[in-house]
Amino acid sequence: MAGERTFRSGDDVGVLARLRERVDDVARRSPARLTLMVFASVIAVVTALLSLPIATASGDRAPFADALFTATSAVCVTGLVTVDTAVYWSTFGQAVILIGIQIGGLGVMTLASILGLAVSRRIGLTQKLLAAAETKTTRLGEVGSLVRVVLVTIAVLESALFVVLLPKYLLLGLSPGTAIWHAAFQSVSIFNNAGFIIEVGGLGAYVGDWWMNLPIIVGGFVGALGFPAILSIAGSWRRPRHWSLHAKLTLATSTVLYVVGTVVIGAMEWANPRSFGALPVADRILAALLAGGTPRSSGFSTVDIGTMSEATWLVQDALMFVGGGSASTAGGIKVTTFAVMVLAILAESRGDPDIEAFGRRIAPGVLRVAIAVAFVGATMVGAGTLALLVLTDLHLDVVLFEVISAFATCGLSTGITPTLPDSAKYVLVALMFAGRIGTMTLAAALALRDRRRVIRLPEERPTIG
Amino acid sequence: MAGERTFRSGDDVGVLARLRERVDDVARRSPARLTLMVFASVIAVVTALLSLPIATASGDRAPFADALFTATSAVCVTGLVTVDTAVYWSTFGQAVILIGIQIGGLGVMTLASILGLAVSRRIGLTQKLLAAAETKTTRLGEVGSLVRVVLVTIAVLESALFVVLLPKYLLLGLSPGTAIWHAAFQSVSIFNNAGFIIEVGGLGAYVGDWWMNLPIIVGGFVGALGFPAILSIAGSWRRPRHWSLHAKLTLATSTVLYVVGTVVIGAMEWANPRSFGALPVADRILAALLAGGTPRSSGFSTVDIGTMSEATWLVQDALMFVGGGSASTAGGIKVTTFAVMVLAILAESRGDPDIEAFGRRIAPGVLRVAIAVAFVGATMVGAGTLALLVLTDLHLDVVLFEVISAFATCGLSTGITPTLPDSAKYVLVALMFAGRIGTMTLAAALALRDRRRVIRLPEERPTIG
Ligand SMILES: [K+]
Ligand SMILES: [K+]
């Protein structure tokens, strides 16, 4: 018996060891592929849980397309929904969504931070892991402590949001248990820029409520900066000169885009009687302050996007496409990608040989990564839009909006997602997954294959433009 | 008397000399600005001529907005029209348009060739002119002979089109005089990718007519390659290995985009009963062969674009935005811009330090120019689209199409241009002008300001994507 047990136990250890070795192997060869597999697995589990009858309020089994869509939207912290989160799902279903958001946001942030640092240092995770194996945990310990810092920061910031929101929900008259549940859900949803809400009837009732809106605006902005930027800024809070170039660039671009978004959307909707025009002036200002930031990140909205003008949709399309910071809970091509391209154009127009920002020269290779990210992003959006135009009878304005919202994991909607055929829902699922995983995986894959050629070909300049 | 005459003559010479000196000065300081001034002047003259009562068929004075729009469309070889060229304008008016097209196409081609070569060699025209002044006409003679080659090539190719088309018009039953006029107008319009037609009722009647379509397809394709490419290919016709990288890249990309455009548009409209689906199979093939090429250049169309699906419009949007070859009669961001960005992404994904094509390394600075051209182009299209959405009640699908068509000087239309308010017409006028002048001026301005900084800043890599 003992011998048999030992044998079995040894066998189990063998299987586990082999599995761990397998994971290590994938991680060593391609951390990007590992991220992708982890994400797909989490989405599969959340889909399975949301497919249980107890996950819905009615007790009926959710259709597969809706379960998959909601799971992907949660884990990819998007916020697009085919069914009303507040009404369709049971508290169990909502809890599954919350956990999906937290794992999705957490996983992406920690993994993306590691990958992001790997990319930015031009040292692949492979090399890091190998180095750690050689030097016995020195460097791997570094990675481990980074993850620990990230987890602590998430806990601190989400707790802060919770503490601010809980009294609000209690004042609204909810029972303590319900208030705690709502404050917890909202805190996680805000910090992870998920855009899911469990308020029945949506946020429309809170359009003029500063207590409800400010946490969304501030929490979403901070979450959308991304961990490399947050840690750099938090690390030397009082000395902005010591912040990394990445942190400075992210904060500056995010701020400029937030101000531009707020002013432009506010101005364009100010007199629209179907949207802001129907509100008192103070509420219009708050609605603009919210609407200026959420396209780039959380996708929360107190005013129905469907009532806004097509011109505003186009501005939101642009903001969503740019998105938030690298290794953040926001999506899009990222503010640094946008900033590097703008700086490159400014440098070119001035005839400067170098791209510069904040007293630093930006390595020319960075520009190539930026173009790859932006171009591949535009191609994904184009292909997704084409697919939805073919699959539905909808027009370009609403299709482009929903496709960019999915790709940029923003979650704003003109309202078409619930009406889409399953085929179109699957296209959005693919876009959310690719948008969340894509550019980061690409960046990682690019930096990890730093193969150099020995022979350089003769140079020639084709005419451009 | 004699003294007075001499005095006056001397004064005249003085004014002329001062004017020439002034032009030389502008040319020396900024050839791009000279191009811009020349274009604006030509458009002003054509607008004035089209404003004469004899320019219209009815004898009424054309509204200023229509005269300006038509003049800009002609000189910028676009082909968008607010009024039907065949019906609204008199033969005098049509002749003015024809001359506008020829000067516009000619001027752009010769000037752009010079500027293009200046850009590609990283030697500004200023330096060339200064060098010519120093070495006494050696280099200026070079520029002069280039212009002569261009003029001869235009004459040869337009004559070839005329010879092919004249019998066609005679067979259609036109009187010799009318047939010559139609063949001449069509030849100039085709080679210059202008897209203007003087056939009453448009080209719809010729949808299955290979004799009418093939000159448009072939002539438009050659004209859209651009002079640097045409001259390089013509210079060593039998030895493709000797063609410049620019010529190879332009020809390869143009061919790939033509095949992709033809297959995709053909497939998407094949069964559309409102467009290709209503035609016999042979006609559908010819319609696809035409529709695959014209979005990138001429803007001729035998099938009403308004009857095509929105998905096809999106494909056409993409093709129009890319456009034709540098220093050609086609517009857009140019095929080399597109090719360089695709090559950069391929190089990045393979981890190659260099961007390569046809056994040559592409200078890193070229990529920066490409990004500037593409990014500024996208910004112009975005701004124009936003303006039209604000100024009209039209939807994004048709607005985006018309704006890209104007910016890319393509001239395809879903049919909204004649219905636009004057304010929106002026936006399209600005887009046509900027699209025709813009990227080229930009490229020239960029290459001419090759200021180098002595102090280089320390390098840092922000995270991208
Ligand atoms: K979101
Ligand atoms: K054209």
The alpha carbon of residue A66 is apart from the nearest alpha carbon of chain B, in Å, by: 26
Nearest ligand, measured from the Cα of B435: 2
Q: What is the pLDDT of residue A125?
A: 45
- The alpha helices in B172-209, defined as continuous H runs, are 176-191
Say if CB A287 and CB A254 are below 8 A apart: no
pLDDT for position B387 = 94
Nearest CA in chain B to A397: B396
Output the pLDDT for position B142.
53
* Half-sphere CA count of A400, side-chain side, radius 13 A: 24
- Residue B274 pLDDT: 87
* pLDDT tops 60 at residue B95: yes
Pairing of strands B459-460, A360-362: parallel
Name chain A contacts of B321, Cβ cutoff 8 Å.
Answer: none
| pLDDT tens sequence across B284-306 | 889 889 888 888 888 888 888 88
Q: Is the pLDDT higher at B79 or at B32?
A: B79
User: What is the complex's ipTM, to 2 decimals?
Assistant: 0.81
Q: What DSSP character marks residue B363? A: P
H or E segment at A319?
Answer: helix A310-322
Residue A302 — φ and ψ, nearest 5°?
Answer: -95, -15
Does A464 contact B315 at a Cβ distance shorter than 8 Å? no
pLDDT at B116: 47
Q: What is the pLDDT of residue A449?
A: 43
For B:251-310, CB contacts with A below 8 A are: 268, 309-310
Residue A41 burial by CB count (10 A; 0-12/13-18/19+): exposed, middle or buried? Answer: exposed
User: Of A389-393, A423-427, B224-228, B259-263, which range is least confident?
Assistant: B224-228
Residue of B nearest to A439 (CA): B465
**Chain B residues lying within 8 Å of A116, measured CB to CB:** 463
| pLDDT given for residue A238 in this prediction | 83
What b/e string do you get for A311-332 counting C-beta neighbours within 10 Å, with b at 16 or more? bbbbbbbbbbbbbbbbbbbbbb
The token pair at A192 is 């992870």
How far does residue B299's CA lie from ligand 2's centre (Å)? 5
Instruction: State the Cα–Cα distance between residues A374 and A368, nearest whole angstrom.
Output: 10
Q: Is the dihedral of CA B315, B316, B318, B324 positive or negative?
A: positive
pLDDT (0 to 100) of residue A230: 83
Please tell me if residue B190 touches chain A, with a CB cutoff of 8 Å: no
**Token representation of residue A93:** 């279903």
Shortest distance between the Cα of B214 and any Cα of chain A, in A, equals: 28
Can you give the residue ranges of every domain in chain B? Answer: 21-448
Tell me the shortest Cα–Cα distance from B17 to chain A, in angstroms.
33
Which residues on B lie below 8 Å from A324 (Cβ)? none
Q: Which residue has the tokens 């390659």?
A: B225
Ligand nearest to the CA of residue B406, numbered in listed order: 2
Length in residues, chain B: 465
Please provide the size of chain A in residues.
465
Mean pLDDT of the B451-455 span: 42
Residue A83's SS3 state is coil
Q: Which of B52, B12, B58, B65 is nearest to B417 (CA)?
A: B65
- Cα(A350)–Cα(A182) distance, rounded to whole angstroms? 53
Q: How many CB pairs under 8 A join A and B?
A: 271
Nearest to B462 among A249, A351, A395 (CB): A249
Lowest mean pLDDT among B328-332, B437-441, B448-452: B448-452
CA distance A397 to A404: 11
Angle at B391 between CA B387 and CA B393, to 5 degrees: 115
Q: Among A333, A439, A464, whose Cβ lies nearest the Cβ of B366?
A: A464
The DSSP annotation for B320-345 comes to HHH-S-TTSS--SS-HHHHHHHHHHH
- Secondary structure of B208-249 in the HEC alphabet? CCHHHHHHHHHHHHHHCCCHHHHHHHHHCCCCHHHCCHHHHH
Give DSSP secondary structure letters for B117-179: HHHHTT--HHHHHHHHHHHTSHHHHHHHHHHHHHHHHHHHHHHHHHHHHHHHHHHTT--HHHH
d(C-alpha B369, C-alpha B373), whole Å = 6
Nearest to A118 by CA among A89, A134, A142: A142
A313 touches chain B (CB under 8 A): yes
Closest ligand relative to B408 C-alpha: 2
Report CB contact under 8 Å: A347, B336: no
**Chain B residues touching A246 at Cβ < 8 A:** 460, 462-463
Residue-wise DSSP of A29-77: H-HHHHHHHHHHHHHHHHHHHHTSGGGBSSSSPPPHHHHHHHHHHHHTT
Please indicate if any CB of chain A lies within 8 Å of the CB of B336: yes
Q: Which residue of B has its CA nearest to A226?
A: B463
Q: Which residue has the higher pLDDT, B462 or B134?
A: B462
Neighbours of B33 (CB within 10 A): 14
**Whose structure tokens read 């085929």?**
A423
The list of chain A residues with pLDDT below 50 reads 1-10, 109, 113, 116-141, 440, 446-455
What is the pLDDT at residue B238?
83
The angle, 0 to 180 degrees and rounded to 10, between the axes of the packed helices B335-350 and A422-448 is 70
Residue B454 contacts A, CB cutoff 8 Å: no
Q: Which DSSP letter does residue B79 get? A: -
Q: Please, is A97 exposed, middle or buried when counting C-beta atoms within 10 Å of its C-beta (0-12, 13-18, 19+)?
A: buried
A109 touches chain B (CB under 8 A): no
B448 SS3 class: helix
Q: Evaluate whether B399 touches A311 at the Cβ level (below 8 Å).
A: no
Burial class from Cβ neighbours inside 10 Å (0-12, 13-18, 19+) for residue B432 reads: buried
Q: Is it the case that residue B134 has pLDDT exceeding 90?
A: no
CA R_g for chain A = 23
Task: Please identify among residues 111-150 of chain A the ones whose CB lies closer than 8 Å to any CB of chain B.
Answer: 116-117, 119-122
Q: Do B440 and A370 touch (CB under 8 A)?
A: no
Q: Give the CA diameter of chain B.
A: 82
Which residue of A338, A349, A371, A463 is the best one to mutate when testing the B interface, meaning the one whose CB has the most B CBs within 10 A? Answer: A463
Residues 6+ apart with CB under 8 A from A220: A190, A191, A193, A293, A294, A297, A298, A300
User: What was the pLDDT predicted at A31?
Assistant: 60
For residue A356, how many C-alpha atoms fall within 13 Å in the half-sphere facing its CB? 15
d(CA A115, nearest CA chain B) in Å: 10
A366 close contact with B: CB closer than 8 A:
yes
Nearest by CB to residue A465, choosing from B360, B439, B456, is B439
> Picking from B91-105, B319-333, B392-406, which range would have the lowest pLDDT averaged per residue?
B319-333
pLDDT of residue A25: 62
A462 — contact with chain B (CB < 8 Å)? yes
Residue B321, pLDDT score: 93
For ligand 2, the distance from its centroid to the CA atom of residue B77, given in whole angstroms, is 5
**Cα angle for residues A396, A430, A440 (degrees, 5° grid):** 105
Residues of chain B with pLDDT > 90, as a percent, come to 29
Facing B326 at nearest CB: one of A119, A397, A464: A464
Higher pLDDT, B405 or B230: B405
Q: Which of B57-61, B187-191, B228-232, B425-429 bottoms out in mean pLDDT, i.e. has the lowest?
A: B228-232
**Cβ neighbours of A314 in B, within 8 Å:** 382, 385-386, 389, 396
pLDDT at B256: 94
Q: Which of 78-97 (B) contact A at CB < 8 A?
A: none
Q: Where are the alpha helices (DSSP H) in B270-324?
A: 281-293, 310-322
Residue B414 Cα to ligand 2 midpoint, Å, equals 15
Whether residue B255 contacts residue B247, with contact meaning beta carbons closer than 8 Å, is answered with: no
